[in-house]
């Protein structure tokens, strides 16, 4: 079963129900693509949600209703790549370090100047923290 370009045209015109119909038809394929890129259910669903929002807000830019599916998949893949790139920039601390920090009951010293402490960090780490 496939959908007609008339449904896509209705969605482009702003018909929410038509857009929902299109998503229902494409949902299984989109989830599989998202999961293949993200490698876990939660991230796949997050990326799928973000891509759906992007598609909904920009469907008026779709030039050819016949290519709706391709257009939607392209949005999904770009969204997945952006999320993967964002995750690469995150610093992963070793589990032992996290446990040590959580288990230490040391009081924080309010006299430590944050800007001085940041000055000692590698530029990449400093940028991540200041963002």
CA contacts within 13 A on the Cβ side of 23: 17
Q: Do residues 66 and 4 make contact, with C-beta atoms less than 8 angstroms apart?
A: no
Same domain as 105, residue 44: no
Same domain as 83, residue 33: yes
pLDDT for res 89: 73
Same domain as 82, residue 106: no
Same domain as 99, residue 84: no
Global confidence as pTM: 0.69
Structure-block tokens of residue 12: 């482009």
Could you give the CA distance from residue 115 to residue 110 in angstroms, rounded to a whole number? Answer: 13
| Residues across the chain | 131
pLDDT for res 75: 97
Please give the residue range of the domain that contains residue 47.
5-88
Instruction: For residue range 73-127, list pLDDT tens digits in order.
Output: 999 999 999 999 998 877 666 777 767 766 776 665 665 666 666 777 777 777 7
In terms of Cβ atoms closer than 10 Å to its own Cβ (0-12, 13-18, 19+), residue 126 is middle
Instruction: For residue range 7-53, list pLDDT tens digits in order.
Output: 999 999 999 999 999 999 999 999 999 999 998 999 999 999 999 99
Could you give the CA distance from residue 83 to residue 41 in angstroms, rounded to a whole number? Answer: 14
What is the CATH number for 84?
1.10.1740.10
């Amino acid at each position: 079963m496939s959908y007609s370009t008339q449904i896509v045209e209705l969605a482009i015109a702003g018909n929410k129900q038509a857009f929902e119909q299109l998503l229902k038809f494409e949902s299984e394929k989109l989830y599989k693509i998202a999961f293949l890129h993200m490698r876990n259910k939660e991230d796949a669903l997050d990326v799928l949600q973000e891509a759906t929002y992007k598609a909904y807000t920009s469907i008026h830019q779709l030039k050819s209703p016949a290519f709706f599916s391709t257009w939607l998949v392209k949005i999904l893949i770009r969204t997945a790549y952006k999320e993967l790139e964002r995750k690469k920039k995150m610093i992963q601390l070793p589990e032992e370090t996290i446990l040590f920090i959580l288990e230490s009951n040391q009081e924080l010293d309010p006299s430590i100047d944050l800007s001085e402490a940041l000055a000692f960090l590698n530029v990449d780490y400093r940028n991540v923290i200041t963002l």
